[in-house]
Amino acid sequence: MIKHTAAALLLALGSFAHAVQAAPINLLTNGDFEAGTLTGWIGTPDPSPNGGQFVGPDFSFSPVPHAGNVFNDAAYNTVGLLTQSVNTVAGALYTIEFDLQRFQTGADLDNFASMSFGGVTLFQQTNVSADWTHYSFTGVVASGATSLLEFGNRNYWDFNQLDNVSVIKTSPDNPPPSPVPEPSSAALLLASLGVLGLMRRRA
């Protein structure tokens, strides 16, 4: 009987481990810019004298400053671009997330930011918020074996700042992780532990 109980316990532990899934994988290289460089990315800055792109600490002193490094783009006359090619599966679904803010000290609020994936524009905004804002796009369908993630920026006075960029495959074989075990798995585990304890007392 104890052997059968032990087998049930192992089965329950397997179900429990399966319910607590592994954390999803960010398909981007250096999505948080903590390399301190544009490693993994291709930057195309605005050619004007003030049109540089760089990675460095968040110096905006916004209410929620970001630890570590962020991407800064000072495009002035034309739109500065930041791109990375992502390995994808045609027809699969992806979630794209990023944090964005405008570091603006001038009076002119003439600025612009955009994001596209696989040639499809998912985000486009003028007068970006002066505080860090989190954006999330779910159910994004990839059309090929690679998809180009592209950010565009133009800021008349200072910088648009970008951080914590991620591309996560969510289907068909990488569902979002469950924050807690499924109730049935947890119940099975508890029941097995109880039976095992009872059998040991009787033995």
Which is higher by pLDDT, 146 or 195?
A: 146
Structural domains of the chain, ranges and CATH numbers in brackets: 1-21+187-203 (no CATH), 24-174 (2.60.120.260)
Average confidence score pLDDT of the chain: 81
User: Cα-flanking dihedrals φ and ψ of residue 164, to 5°?
Assistant: 55, 55
Omega before 45 cis (within 30°)?
no
Strand partners, 161: 72, 101
- Average pLDDT of the residues in 133-153: 97
CB atoms within 10 A of CB 202: 7
Return the pLDDT at 203. Answer: 58
- Looking at the chain, the whole-number percentage of residues with pLDDT higher than 70 is 71
Q: Is 161 exposed, middle or buried (0-12, 13-18, 19+ CB in 10 A)?
A: buried
pLDDT for residue 16 is more than 50:
no
Tokens of 187: 């119940």
pLDDT for residue 72 is more than 80:
yes
